[in-house]
Amino acid sequence: MQITNKKFRLRSGANWTSFEKFRLQGAEALSSIANGVIATLQTKTGQYRIIEERDFQAMYGLARDVDRLRGGLRVVG
């Protein structure tokens, strides 16, 4: 399944069906998670998405802006 977002241009990346498979790949597993790629880790306790730091910071910044704007906007016409 290809997931795409126009703002971030995110796409699906690696998919590990267990923590053990992820662990066995070691640092190589993390090196496959480049900017714009979302990896998926499925474990017995849940499903996790792993993203690169720049993508996280961009999303976090956008979320902060949305939270700030949610406090109220004034439209002057």
Give per-residue pLDDT as tens, 12-62: 999 999 999 999 998 888 888 988 999 999 999 999 999 999 999 988 998
Model confidence, pTM: 0.70
Q: Round to whole Å and give the CA distance between 69 and 77.
A: 18
HSE, CB side, 13 Å, CA atoms: give it for residue 2: 3
- C-beta separation of 24 from 35 below 8 A: no
Give Cβ neighbours of residue 50 (< 8 Å, ≥ 6 apart).
30, 33, 38, 39, 40, 41
